[in-house]
Amino acid sequence: MADGSPGMRLQYMFGGLWMNRLQKVLLAIYSVVFVLLVGLLVYVQFFDGAIDFVTTRHLVPVIFAFLLGIVKIITRSGGGASLRAYKRAYADMIKDAFADDRRKLNVLLKALRLMDEEDFEKSLRLLNSLRESCKNNDERYAVSLFTAVNYNYLEDYEKAAAIYEEMIERGLADSRIFSNVLNCYSEMGEYEKARNAGLAAVHAEPPNWNAFHNFAWFLFGDGKYEEAEDYAKKALELKGNSVETITLLYVLCTLGGRSGEAELYEKKAVANGRSKQELQEIIRNYIGAGAAS
């Protein structure tokens, strides 16, 4: 998977947790009035129908209007909060992009939300609308990276690779960019280019566990088991709880007949969320694939 986010696209949305003070006050007022109106409706209906200036016909539309108001406040606060959540989650990729232009920053964040919702075409349109207005490297990096990641998810690896290569030529590349272009070339069957990109990724500064992890998986798929294990261990040094890397090391040790080491990695994988059943299924798949080939 392309490294457009910390390991994966965001799988969660936030709503209502970061309402501003005015929204909180409005929500409290609307909620109290709504409860009072519902109580009055119950009283009129069941206890005292003699209140001639208040009838069900009057109360129902008023209650409905207040309910719509509550929904609108919650919806608005949820939308704003979700953009802030994306800004936090992608902070190391956004950096200071559009820091002096809130409108353009929101366009970027909306593009990320659309990407997470798998509306890639709309996300690309928003990102393309920002391309000409990029004034510094942080802005060029963010817009180019997320544009390429959209193409990754659309499985248009040729377009994604072209964008990554342009970033490399402009001096915008870091380990994430090299690692992503490794994935593109691997998908395109250009394995020599993929290997070169992987080597560039693991030698780029600062070190990125995902770059080592991706390169290890690439080498594993290419049958270079010893090299794959070396890079997987380096990835694990950088991120000790990476269940994906631990799983790869478990597979390598199991296929290599090193049951003692495999057992240690199995325990680590289970401790980090992988079930024994999943691990056994993974091994069966690899053994089956090996037998078929």
81 and 8, same domain (yes or no): yes
Is 74 domain-assigned?
yes
Is 27 domain-assigned?
yes
For 18-32, 138-152, 181-195, 272-286, which range has the lowest pLDDT when averaged over its residues?
A: 18-32
Burial class (CB in 10 A: 0-12, 13-18, 19+), 162: middle
Q: In terms of pTM, does the model score above 0.85?
A: no
83 and 1, same domain (yes or no): yes
75 and 3, same domain (yes or no): yes
17 and 99, same domain (yes or no): no
In the chain, the largest separation of any two C-alpha atoms, in whole Å, equals: 87
How confident is the model at residue 48, as a pLDDT? 57
82 and 21, same domain (yes or no): yes
77 and 131, same domain (yes or no): no
100 and 148, same domain (yes or no): yes
| Measured distance CA(205)–CA(45) in Å, rounded | 72
73 and 101, same domain (yes or no): no
103 and 82, same domain (yes or no): no
82 and 136, same domain (yes or no): no
**pLDDT greater than 90 at residue 21:** no
What's the domain range around 103?
A: 93-154
Is 240 domain-assigned?
no
The percent of residues in the chain predicted with pLDDT above 90, rounded, is 64
Q: How many domains does the chain have?
A: 2
For 4-8, 86-90, 134-138, which range has the lowest pLDDT when averaged over its residues?
A: 4-8
**pLDDT greater than 90 at residue 52:** no
Is 41 domain-assigned?
yes
Is 160 domain-assigned?
no
pLDDT tens per residue across span 98-146: 999 999 999 999 999 999 989 999 999 999 999 999 999 999 999 999 9
131 and 57, same domain (yes or no): no
How confident is the model at residue 206, as a pLDDT? 85
